[in-house]
Amino acid sequence: MYEINVTLESVVNAIKELSDVFSYSPGINLSELLLVGITAVYAISTIAICVFNYRSVSVAREQVANMRKTQDQSVKIQLFDKRYEIFSLLEKWFSNASVTFSNTEISAVTGQLMTPIEVFEMYVFYQDIAGTNKRLDNLEGLVRADMGNSAAASTLSEVSEMKSEVAKHCTQTILAICEEGNKINMLDLVFSSCNSEQIRKFTDAYVAMARDRSVNNLKNLEEAFSTLDYIQIGTVMRNQLKTMNIAKLQEGDE
């Protein structure tokens, strides 16, 4: 192996010798040659920087496009979920109202035809609230009439707790119905070509009936239900849901 020793003096001498060689060569100027070399290096560097910048811009543009696509898909999915939730709630409410005014429900307790108010309570509150409270009142009256019994006080306390549970269940259900009504009334924001005025009249009557199961509120609900063109509204909602679902599946395949 050879050892190479390079000193500053040897480099200077080599440059001088190279300069002497070019000075004896006609038509060649060392300074011009160096200028050409420097210019060539600068040009190549500039081209390389431009190519690198172009690739960086392309990558950044592609990333932005992918982010926009992801955001668009996310918005579409959220819109589909909101539409489906509103559609499901409205369909449930319409079904409950339809059963309420069908006059075909038989009480499992009495075996008799249930009144519309009893049917509404059964399907909305999942129990006969009026009937349950009436039976609890009767039981409470019997217990109070027999207060000499040692178990009367304990039974009376249990009846009171059951009444509280029924009242609590009613309050929670009414709050949930009010929240569902607010969601349904946002229908015109996520669905197009739906008769939001008819739907809002129906939902307001439904909420009022849930809060107070009176004959007057029942009459208002029946009127709003009878004027609700649910076949047309349901068809419009289903078509828009179907279109969005197909588009979502196609984007997922891509």
pLDDT tens column, 123-144: 888 766 666 666 666 666 766 6
> How confident is the model at residue 11, as a pLDDT?
44
Of the candidates 112, 131, 111, which has an alpha carbon nearest to the alpha carbon of residue 120? 131
Instruction: Report, as ranges of residue numbers, the positions in the chain whose pLDDT lies below 70.
Output: 1-33, 36, 108-109, 127-140, 142-153, 156, 244-254
Structure tokens at 43: 């040009």
> How confident is the model at residue 136, as a pLDDT?
66
Return the domain boundaries, the chain.
Answer: 80-120+172-253
Structure tokens at 95: 């079904």
Going by C-beta distance under 8 Å and a sequence separation of 6 or more, which residues neighbour residue 73?
A: 248, 251
Stated pTM of the model: 0.63
Please state, in angstroms and rounded to a whole number, the distance separating the CA atoms of residues 101 and 131: 19
Please state, in angstroms and rounded to a whole number, the distance separating the CA atoms of residues 103 and 107: 11
Please state, in angstroms and rounded to a whole number, the distance separating the CA atoms of residues 9 and 15: 10
Residue 46, SS3?
A: helix
Of the candidates 227, 238, 239, 218, which has an alpha carbon nearest to the alpha carbon of residue 197? 227
Please state, in angstroms and rounded to a whole number, the distance separating the CA atoms of residues 55 and 47: 12
